Amino acid sequence: MGFFSFTQEIAMDLGTANSIIIHNNKIVVDEPSVVAIEAKSDRVLAVGSKAHQMEGKEPPGIRTIRPLRDGVIANFTAAEQMIRGMVKQVGNKRRWFAPTLCMVVCIPSGSTEVEIRAVKDSCEHAGGRDVYQIHEPMAAALGIGLDVEAPQGNMIVDIGGGTTEIAVISLGGIVSNKSIRIAGNELTADIQEHMSRVHNLKVGVTMAENIKINVGSALTELDNPPEDFVVRGPNKITALPMEVSVSYQEIAHCIDKTISKMEAAVLDALENTPPELYSDIVETGIYLAGGGALLRGLDKRLTDRFGIKFHVAEDPLHAVARGTGVALKNRNRFSFLIKN
């Protein structure tokens, strides 16, 4: 960006679990989607990882809020404060003026008009003057490096924190899509429930996330299995400390039902795919993006289930954000960007 450039251009992946901002082709913000505010005055105390560190530990005077639920804005004021706080982190050090802000933000493909409007309003209140929106699966496809404008079918399964987005893309448009509110957070909840029911162990969301990252698996048999993970916490009946060793097989059993729901959604999207595009998909395979794509054995399980090769995108966590960045750079070319 030159010294006389008065427009700051940013691409934002506003996620249920994490939000990422790209500026000048670089990821400049990659933080949990949390904001901490003072209960009395509604003053923002922290945004992102600093707010995430306070989660579950806050005294009565402080509230931590996750403004997005299931991929959509659930708390309008908190979302605006969070976006504003994150945009501030991008700041240009030499700035003696307030530049106009041009933003491209991604939204779930199943968003209603009201939800689309909420994202736009939040971004405008946080200082965005030109706000464009792009559907998440389309952004994921661009981030993976697919030619979305080609007359060829590409299928994307983007498993985020709040939603799993499944879409077939051809000729710069989404031909069929399925957006379900079952994703990474659901897997975390399954683990929490399992630890409580089977081991009488109380675990918070952060610990359940750690279990998922360390021993989460979609299969009960893996080629290179992770070591068992030791979980410490209070016994929910006696409140005395306890320690449980958890294996990946145990976690694979406890999240099996949720993964089956994701499989049903993929099947649903395939059923609604025109035959010509279906044959393209069988030939090229299906792409997995989002944090959920990192679950051990998921690609193999889906490949075996459908008989179509599933590829995990390179750096799946950032695929949507990178694609949003590509859309920002070529916003005049891409007709699928929503500008309202």
Question: What are the residue ranges spanned by the domains of the chain?
Answer: 7-138+321-329, 146-182+256-317, 185-254
pLDDT of 338 reads 82
Cα separation, 18 vs 32, in Å, equals 4
- What pTM value is reported for the model? 0.90
In percent, how much of the chain has pLDDT > 90? 80
pLDDT in tens, 59-73: 999 999 999 998 889
Instruction: State how far the alpha carbon of 295 is from the alpha carbons of 147, 188, 216, 288, 312, in Å.
Output: 26, 12, 6, 11, 10
pLDDT tens, residue by residue, 147-194: 999 999 999 999 999 999 999 999 999 999 899 999 999 999 999 999
Instruction: Look at residues 40, 109, 121 and name the one whose alpha carbon lies nearest to residue 73.
Output: 121
- For the ranges 3-7, 70-74, 202-206, 276-280, the maximum mean pLDDT occurs at 276-280
Nearest to 218 by CA among 184, 248, 188: 248
Quote the pLDDT of residue 2.
45
Residue 30: closest CA among 236, 328, 320: 320
- Eight-state DSSP code of residue 61: T
Answer whether 7-138+321-329 and 146-182+256-317 agree in fold.
yes
Compute the Cα dihedral for 288, 294, 295, 300 and give only its sign: positive
The CATH class for the domain spanning 146-182+256-317 reads alpha beta
Q: Compute the distance between CA of residue 123 and CA of residue 91 in angstroms, rounded to an integer.
A: 16
Q: HEC string of 266-284?
A: HHHHHHCCCHHHHHHHHHH
CA 14, distance to chain mean position in Å, is: 8
pLDDT in tens, 247-277: 999 999 999 999 999 999 999 999 999 999 9
- Among 254, 263, 258, 250, smallest CA distance to 300 is for 263
As a whole number of angstroms, the distance between CA 95 and CA 98 comes to: 7
Q: What digits encode the pLDDT tens for the residues 162-173?
A: 999 999 999 999
What CATH fold (topology level) applies to the domain 7-138+321-329?
Answer: Nucleotidyltransferase; domain 5 (3.30.420)
> CA–CA separation, 126 vs 14, rounded Å?
13
Q: Which residues contact 60 (CB under 8 A, 6 or more apart)?
A: 39
185-254 architecture in CATH? Alpha-Beta Complex (3.90)
331: helix, strand or coil: coil
